[in-house]
Structure 1
Amino acid sequence: MPLFRSPLPCPGKGGMKQKKKRRKARWVEMQAEGRTPSLATLCLWNLVENMKDFWTRDYAENYMDQYSFRYIMGPFNVLPGELVEDLFSLLSSHHMVTRSALHLLLVPQVRCLSLSSCSTLITPSICNLIGIRCQALLSLDLSGAQHLSALVLSELLGQLARLHSICLVGTQCDDQVLRTISGSCPALQHLDVSCCHQLAPTSLLHLVACPSGHNVLSLRSLLALDIDFENRESHRLGVAVCLLLSMPSLEKVAIDGLGEACAIIKSQNFCELDSFTSQKGMPNLWELWHSQIQGEQAGTYERAAEKECRDEGIEGWLSENEDYYEEEDEQLNERDTDGKWNNKRRTRPHSNTLEELESDQQTEGAERASRGSLTLSLREAQGVSSSYVSALGVLCPDLCSLSLHCEEGLVGSLSAGLEQWKGQFFRLGLQFTGLLLDILPSVGVVGSTLHTLTLEGVRMDGDASFLLLLRSCPKLKTLLIHTEPPRINREEEEENNEQDVPELPRLPQLRSLSLKFLMEHQQKKPLMSWRSLKWPMMALLGSSPFLEKATMMAIPCSMDTVFQEVLDNCVGSPEDPSISPLWNLRHLSLAYCNISMETAARLVTHRNQLSTLDLSGCWNVSSENIVKLKRKATRRRYPLTIIWC
């Protein structure tokens, strides 16, 4: 075979031009993301470009349906596992994963496998291949594979004994699957079974009722919201209490009844749950509580060292659905004094010997036992009612992320409840149907350190409250607000104050913004009832030079005025004045917003890195306008996709 060959005849020039255009777009996309592609990345991109035309095509035509290979010897099984995972991630992000590509990339060296983006391709035969070929898997994500039966899931998970992380969101996971996980995955640390409607609360008890000869799973993360809960209150609370007392290593929990369970553990009122534990064959809750106290009292140096290491390196699972930065990982352990973490060390005097350390731990455990108190390791809690925040604070002093539902009558006590975590909170989510002004004091207690804030259902009550909210959270990187439109029309009142320009806050670290106003189904466009909302919008868009993703829906003010002010008054970054607003913007959604063709054209031609512009429902933009915008987009340095319907 000659070393060099003349190129094969091309069926047409169009295919080669399209491939060159795609390769150039990929290169520009990587440059837009602020990273210089390495040689390994360029090689992976080359593989991605040729997967469909060469590797997967040859395998699909000649081998896939004719043979059932236990293993495939080829170019991919000689790559390091990390490169195979990166290759699969690139294919997934560009929706290029096929059944033949799955066959080729299921190699023994793969450690992490996420199939959530191609859940429709997951069949029993694929699961069989995963179980046979990928024995070294540490992380498996099968989210959205609703068509897989519980039997297939059980058989697959029974073959993967080394799994550390399992995600089964929205699958047919049932009692049998959890029994398999409990008996076959002893190293499991992270489990997500949210939205699995075949599960009842009592199903979770299989995670602590391990078969004989097995230890209880040392889970650090358990997510089980929106499963098919039973109606009996005692079952829901009993399960939550059993899980918290049986799994002392839990750091991230999202289960129904978490707040009430903490209140029961704090009061040690276990008598009402005795019938439940005896009926389910669980240990007595008093015994579990005493065993936890004794475990704290009899701590060893190795256990303390393990906890210290865990505190110094918060894993990526803490972020779930959000990017966390190195700065957060460093700050998570910087706590106030008065018995809390400070500079990653205990505030008690340093112990130089193992005997002294053990003596200190035994003394602390004895003091807690004498006070009848227990400390949980929770750092992140979801699904808690504001009425149980105080109990949660007593049991969980290390909490740094909380998602809760707040009743209007308990807003005052919420501020006092959050005070105990002041200076250590990084993420807060609130479901609240009252006025924004009412919850400002509560947000302000922890706002100085917040990196992520989510407000759902809150009613906006004016510019002053909105601007005060932004000022109280200067370090925000992610802001999500889902709210109702104003109930009164302020147009005439605001016309008189049009010249009053407030001092706008700055959010220099903001990366992601989502501001959605609810609309009725019959509405075609929102009422422009809050014209002065442009000031908070200018603060969010104009003073956040590193904003990458902005989703705005049914904004009740003209977005033309907002973008004109932002684009004309180029407010630079304090760190780098040469960076103009919207320079880093990559995804912009303006669904059902009042924006004109002229402003949309400015956004397309502006010096930014937009890759997606969503103008769905924008009534001032016609189909002819979209054609012109797409024509302008072809002359951009960065490729841009425009969505309109």
Structure 2
Amino acid sequence: MSRRKEVVTLTGLCLQNIADNMQSVWMKDYMTKNMEEYNFLFIEGPFNQLAGSLVQELIRILGESHKLNKGSLHLLLQPHLLELSLRSCAGIVNVAIMQLVTVRCKHLTSLDLHSCNRVPAASLATLIEGLPRLTKLCLADTQCDSLVLEAIGRRCPRLCELDVSRCKKVSSSSLLSVVYDTQGAAFCCQALRVLLLQDVKPKGSPEQWAQALCFILLALPSLEELPNPSLSAALNLLYNKSFTKAGTCIDGFPPLAEVAQSRTASEGKIKGAANMRNHQLNSPASSPKVTQQRSSGMPTLRLKKLEDLEEDDVSAVGSLCPLVEEVAISLGDQPLASWSLVQWAHLTKLTLHCPQKPERTLEEFLAALQVTGNSLQVLSIQNLMWCQDHSLPALLTMCPNLRSFQSHFTVLRQNLPPNEPELPAWPRDPLPLPRLHTFSLLIEGEGSSQNTFRHKLGGFLVSVLKGSPQLESLSLCGVQAPLDSVFEVVYGSSPPRPLQRLRAVSLCGSNVTQWGASLVVRSGSDLRTLDLSHCKEVTCRDHHQLQERARKERLNLTISWL
């Protein structure tokens, strides 16, 4: 069955046509008359009549195709723009361009200057001071420093998202300027929900950096995301109330104990008002007395995403952050500690990984995962040992609403009896995963090549593939199960035919031949990529034959082999 290439929209074709003719048509008059004039406010022409979203898309197309220069950017920086991203043309953004944005684009609500590192901090600060409507700002990998961060704190009260990742000049004291105005002695940027600090290395002692992050957590009541390796230390500082001994966090800013008291009092007022309303509506469960007890405790953080959380910190962090939706837990080398996922009722994305040699088993975590399995949409389990054949099917049965499953397991060699028992028949019933879009399984270890394990793994894959009608991406790496037989059974199933939405298949290093690969190719799905790298049973001749089949059937398919 031939498959057509993706259809480009009419809007996309028109914008691409403009981009292709930018120099020869749209820039012709500008090049002869106005090339050196960067400061006039208005340019009469077609782009001031184009919707702001289309102007931004045109900037992206020109930038990614390396057709954008300062002159064409001058034409496209229109006053009616509400969103502007210069990420695709960061190399040509300089002080003059920043001045132009400052003068002409005063209504921006979203600005992305990722990697625009030729612009000095003073120009960035001047720009930001003139954009009080900003709700989203990306300054990642720029010269952002204390001057810029102070301008953000003073002039951007509506800001909801701020990215200062990989900014080398960001320090703990300058970072606090975003959330606290020392001159006015008041908290600022109270609407901030996302503060991205990836690869921002702490200057000074690690304790001071942890105190700074703790200050931010307390100062921002709506904060949902604060990715940084020191976040766990800050959360532990808050959980243990160690800030009462820490004194002043940083010179010029109030002590952490004072910030915590202000946050707790503010939350107490809000809860008290809510409970009073409930009490007036004859709700006996709420009372002023209960409110007073709650307000005397620790503040509730609204963090929804936690990265690289140590296993030992799960219980403490869970009590502070009950609204977490995404978490990545780094596992130690000790048996399962006394932690649970029950405190995270909203958890939808979970990652469990051993950073070193796999010492932990999948079986240890089945009970913990059963508590939250029904709500999980994304599950990643990396570098664990898989010891019992039924564990992985049992895990997926617990998680019927998964959209993505990624895994990496080591299988140890099992001591089988001298007379190997008869291999059981493969299950006929599918394992129902109606929402699964991505399935990835990487297997290694001596036990992965044993006949019993290979056979049972094949049956498990048949159940998964037959029960995943929405599957778009399939990755089976190092899988020694007989995949030819797996695909024969799956594609031979009665209607509706499975795997009709597959777009990407990787069978790298797995046990498959040309026959199994050809079943995937001619399945009738909208397949775009097929990776057969390091498949020992696929020869160079097989690869050429598969490519020839794809060419004859006019398939938009790339087949990799090595």
| TM-score, length of structure 2 as denominator length | 0.81
Shift of residue 148, structure 1, vs aligned partner: 6.3
Q: In structure 2, do the counterparts of structure 1 residues 399 and 485 end up closer, same or farther at CA, with 3 Å as the change threshold?
A: closer
Out of 399, 411, 419, which is 1:486 matched to? Answer: 411
How far residue 608 of structure 1 moved from its aligned partner, in angstroms, is: 0.6
* Mean Cα deviation higher: 225-234 or 437-446: 225-234
SS, match of residue 501 in structure 2: coil
SS of residue paired to 1:253: coil
Query: What do residues 558-582 of structure 1 show as CA deviations (whole Å, max 9, x unaligned)?
Result: 5333333322235x6xxxxx3x221
Moved more, 176-185 or 431-440: 176-185
Greater shift, 544-553 or 162-171, is seen at: 162-171
Give the Å deviation of 1:484: 4.8
Cα separation, 1, equivalents of 2:439 and 2:166: 26
Indicate whether 1:79 and 2:50 are aligned: yes
Q: Judge which range, 62-71 or 488-497, deviates more.
A: 488-497
Shift of 1:585: 1.6
1-structure distance, mates of 2:470, 2:489: 18
With over 3 angstroms needed to count, the CA separation of the structure-2 counterparts of 1:395 and 1:593, relative to structure 1, is same
Distance 1:62 1:113 in 2: 25
What is the CA-CA distance between 1:373 and the residue it aligns to? 3.3
Give secondary structure in 1 for the equivalent of 2:431. coil
1:591 aligns with 508
Choose 500-509 or 98-107, whichever is displaced more.
98-107
- Write the deviation string for residues 466-487 of structure 1: whole angstroms up to 9, x where unpaired: 1111111111112222x25434
Contact 2:474–2:505, Cα closer than 8 Å, also in 1 = yes
Q: Which residue of 1 aligns with 2:188?
A: 216
Contact 2:276 2:288 survives alignment (8 Å):
no
The whole-number CA distance in structure 1 between the counterparts of 2:29 and 2:417 is: 73
Task: Pick the aligned partner of 1:508 from 434, 443, 446.
Answer: 434
1:478·1:513 contact (CA, 8 Å) conserved in 2? yes
| Residue type of the alignment partner of 1:428 | L
Distance in 1, matches of 2:474 and 2:324, equals 29
In structure 2, C-alpha distance between the alignment counterparts of 1:228 and 1:288, rounded to whole Å: 24
User: In the alignment, which residue of structure 2 is the partner of 1:229?
Assistant: 202
Task: Tell me the distance in 2 between the aligned counterparts of 1:619 and 1:119.
Answer: 44
Aligned counterpart, 2:93: 123
The aligned counterpart of 1:450 is: 376
1:25 counterpart SS class: coil
Q: CA deviation at 1:431?
A: 2.5
Matched to 1:47, the amino acid is C
Once the two structures are superposed, what CA deviation does each residue of 1:131-156 show, in whole Å capped at 9, x if it has no partner?
Answer: 44433332234445667665665555
1:639 aligns with 2:562: no
Q: Measure, in 1, the Cα distance between the counterparts of 2:111 and 2:5.
A: 31
| Correspondent of 1:603 among 520, 538, 545 | 520
| 8 Å Cα contact 2:430/2:464 also seen in 1 | no
Would the aligned equivalents of 1:222 and 1:252 in 2 still touch at CA under 8 Å?
Answer: yes
Which residue identity is paired with 1:26? E
Specify the alignment match of 1:17 in structure 2. Answer: none
- CA deviation vs aligned residue, 1:149-200 (integer Å, no higher than 9, x gap): 6566555545433221223445554444433433342221112334445545
Does the aligned pair in 1 maintain the 2:378–2:404 contact within 8 Å? yes
Unpaired runs of 5+ in structure 1?
1-21, 31-41, 305-345, 520-525, 573-577
Segments of 5+ residues of structure 2 without an aligned counterpart are: none
For the residue of structure 1 that corresponds to 2:176, the secondary structure is helix
Verify: 1:261 aligned to 2:252, yes or no.
no
SS in 2 for 1:533: helix
Q: Secondary structure at the match of 1:382?
A: strand
TM-aligned CA deviation for residue 129 of structure 1: 4.9
Partner of residue 420 from structure 1, selected from 330, 337, 343: 343
Count of aligned pairs between the two proteins: 540
User: What CA distance in whole angstroms lies between the structure 1 residues aligned with 2:89 and 2:48?
Assistant: 23
Aligned to 1:298, what secondary structure does the other structure show? helix
Residue in 2 aligned with 1:374?
299
2:462 corresponds to which of 535, 538, 541? 538
1:383 and 2:300 are equivalent in the alignment: no
Alignment of 1:211-610 (within 5 A): 212-213=183-184, 215-218=187-190, 219-230=192-203, 232-274=205-247, 277=249, 279-299=250-270, 349=278, 351=280, 365-369=291-295, 371-409=296-334, 411-415=336-340, 418-422=341-345, 424-432=346-354, 433=358, 434-481=360-407, 483-488=408-413, 496=421, 498-501=423-426, 505-516=431-442, 528=449, 531=454, 532-570=456-494, 578=496, 580-610=497-527
**Offset of residue 583 of structure 1:** 0.9
Q: Which residue of 2 aligns with 1:26?
A: 6
**Percentage of identical aligned residues:** 29
Cα root mean square deviation, aligned: 4.0
Aligned to 2:67: 98
Shift in Å, 1:445:
1.5
Q: Is the 8 A contact 1:183 1:211 kept in 2?
A: no
CA contact 1:85–1:112 (8 Å) conserved in 2: yes
The verdict on how the C-alpha distance between 1:231 and 1:439 changes in structure 2, with shifts beyond 3 A counting, is: farther
Change (3 A) 1:221 1:280: same
Q: Is the 8 A contact 1:411 1:442 kept in 2?
A: no
How far apart, CA to CA, are the structure 2 residues paired with 1:581 and 1:496? 32
Counterpart amino acid of residue 221 in structure 1: V
